[in-house]
Structure 1
Amino acid sequence: MKREKRKKAVALTFNEAADPAPRVTAKGQGRIAEAIIQRARENDVPVREDPSLAELLLKIDLDEVIPESLYTAVAEIFALIYRADQRAKELRKDKNPQER
């Protein structure tokens, strides 16, 4: 019988004024990962699935900035999220022209 892989999650924040790079603010596996994902969705925080990157980010201590070796991978995900957020804002403006 095949065992299901445990879910993994890592939450990142980036405060350009205070930090040189994104910071790990939550991480976990199994039920903790599920709680992180649920909390993100409840607060309209984008969730991106990337098991390989999650595995690397799980090795970083809480409240530490990511290492330079992960800048490109994390920047690509932040860019995808930013573009998706911009598209969603544009769609909302198209539906509600008075928001312009």
Structure 2
Amino acid sequence: MMENNRSPIKKAVALKYSSENKGAPILVAKGKGNVAEAIMKKAKDNGVPVQEDSSLVEVLSKLDLDQEIPPELYKLVAEILSFIYRSDGRAKQQIRKRSNE
């Protein structure tokens, strides 16, 4: 039996959420391979925190674009949003600290 040395195909999704919006976060991008790499690059280039969770990406990638996440995924996505808000807060603190030096 031969061992498969290929790395798994990278997948990525992007969610959009606005506190003014009364609905749930919406899937705005998804892809694998080069498209996934482009999604990740765009996020990083725009200072958007990236959370890597392959099982959540697998589930979210089954949704249609512009579809709200279903209620059964609220808890998982809330954990991701919490990570993003914490990361954003830390980034702002670092920027303030640098500007005061």
Q: Same fold (TM over 0.5)?
A: yes
Pairwise CA distance, 1:19:
4.2
Q: What displacement does 1:15 show? A: 2.1
User: Structure 1 residue runs of 4+, over 6 Å off?
Assistant: none
Query: Quick check: 2:16–2:25 contact (8 Å CA) kept in 1?
Result: yes
Q: Distance in 2 between matches of 1:7 and 1:75?
A: 23
SS at match of 2:75: helix
The share of aligned pairs that are identical, in percent, is: 48
Q: Conserved in 1, the CA contact under 8 Å of 2:49 and 2:87? A: no
Supply the distance in 2 between the matched residues of 1:62 and 1:53 (Cα, whole angstroms).
16
Is contact 1:19-1:65 (8 Å) kept?
no
Could you tell me the TM-score, scaled by structure 1's length?
0.90
- What's 1:28 paired with? 31
Residue 81 of structure 1 aligns with which residue? 84
Shift of 1:90: 1.2
Aligned length: 98
CA distance in 2, matches of 1:79, 1:15: 14
Counterpart pick for 1:97 among 84, 97, 100: 100
Give the equivalent residue in structure 1 for 2:19. Answer: 16
More divergent stretch after superposition (66-75 vs 39-48): 39-48
Tell me how large the CA RMSD over aligned residues is: 1.5
- Per-residue deviation at 1:4? 1.1
Indicate if the aligned counterparts of 1:11 and 1:25 stay in contact, CA closer than 8 A.
Answer: yes
Structure 2 length as normaliser, TM-score? 0.89
User: Contact (CA 8 Å) 1:7, 1:30: kept in 2 or not?
Assistant: yes
5+ residue gaps, structure 1? none
